Chains A and B, each alone.
Chain A
Amino acid sequence: EVQLLESGGGLVQPGGSLRLSCAASGFTFSIYAMSWVRQAPGKGLEWVSAISGSGSGDRTYYADSVKGRFTISRDNFKNTLYLQMNNLRAEDTAVYYCAKDHEVAGNYFDYWGQGILVTVSS
């Protein structure tokens, strides 16, 4: 059974940093691209960042809203996805989901974590 479990969220002051983790199990983590998707309170879904699977050189992609502030990475030995978030702003307040690329078709998300809340406030 595929499981994705986010951790590392919480309350942080504007300008602060936070690192989210997503522990994956139930599938061969290394071969799948992974993404972070967020949802501000009462709002829609916003894709944040993606990292390719093994064999593609760990290519990374970012939304313009987080480029230069967030860094996505993965540890295929620990089956864990990360999102380092620096210089956080109030508008980064959201539930953050990690999501696995579809089994056969890229850039679709067939499994999602339960989400973790990040609140940026003084």
Chain B
Amino acid sequence: DIQMTQSPSSVSASVGDRVTITCRASQGISSWLAWYQQKPGKAPNLLIYAASNLHSGVPSRFSGSGSGTDFTLTISSLQPEDFATYYCQQATSFPLTFGGGTKVEIK
């Protein structure tokens, strides 16, 4: 199985900050990676698929990059509604696997 490791597990930031979250796969997954945002008590929402493609309706302050084993999600200017937990997910092979999550908290 492909293991997905996110870092950091949590980050404290202020509105307007640039935030970067990393995700590392235990083996190469090309660009088969997604990022999701989840708020408490809600289902996850897709942000980025295929490593760098912005899902429909997602604000352009979100961006993704990387390929192979190392990936990043960047929020260019953090907004109040962005405080949430973010997960990466590999989509190259079954079983599909998620990273452990990164909680973005208010500083």
Which of A44, A45, A114 has most B Cβ within 10 Å? Answer: A45
Which of A61, A62, A107 has most B Cβ within 10 Å? Answer: A107
Query: In chain B between 73 and 107, which residues have their CB closer than 8 angstroms to a CB of chain A?
Result: 87, 89, 91-92, 94-101
B8 at the interface (CB under 8 A from A): no
B21 at the interface (CB under 8 A from A): no
B44 at the interface (CB under 8 A from A): yes
Contact between A110 and B46 (Cβ–Cβ < 8 Å)? yes
Query: In chain A between 21 and 78, which residues have their CB closer than 8 angstroms to a CB of chain B?
Result: 35, 44-47, 50, 61-64
Contact between A50 and B101 (Cβ–Cβ < 8 Å)? no
Chain B contact residues, majority secondary structure: loop
Contact between A109 and B46 (Cβ–Cβ < 8 Å)? yes
Which of B45, B46, B94 has most A Cβ within 10 Å? Answer: B94
Chain B residues contacting A102 (CB-CB under 8 Å) are 46, 49
Q: Which of A62, A63, A97, A106 contacts B43 (CB 8 A)?
A: A97
Chain A residues contacting B95 (CB-CB under 8 Å) are 47, 61-64
How far, in whole Å, are A110 and B95 apart by their CA atoms in the complex?
18
Nearest B-chain residue to A64, judged by Cβ: B95
How far, in whole Å, are A105 and B55 apart by their CA atoms in the complex?
11
Chain B residues contacting A63 (CB-CB under 8 Å) are 95
Contact between A45 and B43 (Cβ–Cβ < 8 Å)? no
Query: A-contacting residues of B (Cβ < 8 Å)?
Result: 1, 32, 34, 36, 38, 43-46, 49-50, 53, 55, 87, 89, 91-92, 94-101
- 4 A-B pairs closest in CB distance: A107-B91, A112-B43, A47-B96, A61-B94
